[in-house]
Amino acid sequence: MPSDQAKATIALPKLPYAEDALAPVISANTISFHYGKHHATYVKTLNELIAGTPYEGKSLEEIVVASAAAKDAAAKKIFNNAAQAWNHDFYWHSMTPKGGAPTGKIKDALEKSFGDLAAFKKAFGLAAVGQFGSGWAWLVKGKDGTLKIETTSNADTPIAHGGTPLLVADVWEHAYYLDYQNRRPDHVTAWLDKLVNWSFAEKNLT
Ligand code: MN3
C-alpha cells in the first residue's frame, strides 16, 4: 500500500560538471550511460534492497561498511550496490576538466612516495591496466602516511577495509568502451594526463 511518509533513501548525487565537460577524453555519450544508467541503477537497486531492512536510514558509507562485514548473500548484494554507488560518486569527483599537474601538499606527498609525477603515473597506469576484468585503481593514504596504489575487483572499495582513498580510476569496461573499445591503456594515459582532480586528492589527504 502506498504511503506518503517520506522514507530515508540514498540519493543519486549530482555530477560535479556537465556531461560533456570531460570530452574528448571521456565523451558526453559515455558519461550519459555511465552516470545516467550505471550509477543511477546502483542507487535505485540499493534503495530497493535496503527497504525494510536495518540498513534503511543509514548513510551510504555506513551501509558499505556494515554490509562488507556481514557474510550472508543478501548483504553481499547490498554491498555490491552500495559500494558501487559510493565508488562512482568518488570517481566523478576524482576528475575535473582542468586536470594537469599536482601542486602543494599532494605534489610533495607524491614525490615523497613515488619519486616524481612521471613515476607515479607509470605505476598507477600499470596497476590500472593490469587490473584483470572489472575493478578500480586507487591512490590511497597508507597507515604510515605514505601514498600507495591499490586495485580492487568489481565493487570492492578501500573504505570497506579501513582505507583512506584519495583518487580513483574506474577501469570497468563501461567507463571507456564507447570511446576506446579495448584500448584501456590509451584511456588510462589520457585520464592521468588530462582529468585528474588533484585538489580533490589533496582535500582527501589533509
Ligand atoms: Mn563505473
Q: Mind listing the pLDDT tens digit for each residue in 135-151?
A: 999 999 999 999 999 99
Ligand 1 centroid from CA 96, angstroms: 16
pLDDT in tens, 183-197: 999 999 999 999 999
Half-sphere exposure of 130 (CA within 13 A, CB side): 10
Question: Which of 83, 66, 88 is closest to 13 using CA atoms?
Answer: 88
For the chain, domains (ranges, CATH) are: 27-93 (1.10.287.990), 104-205 (3.55.40.20)
Ligand 1 centroid from CA 145, angstroms: 28
Residue found by looking up cell 556531461 in the block: 19
Ligand 1 centroid from CA 112, angstroms: 30
Ligand 1 centroid from CA 200, angstroms: 19
pLDDT in tens, 69-90: 998 999 999 999 999 999 999 9
Ligand 1 centroid from CA 24, angstroms: 18
Ligand 1 centroid from CA 41, angstroms: 11
pLDDT in tens, 92-122: 999 999 998 999 999 999 999 999 999 999 9
- Where are the alpha helices (H) located in the chain, listed in sequence order? 28-33, 40-50, 60-69, 73-93, 104-114, 117-130, 177-180, 184-194, 198-205
Ligand 1 centroid from CA 87, angstroms: 8
Q: What is the pLDDT of residue 7?
A: 61
Is 64 within 8 Å of 100 (Cβ atoms)?
no
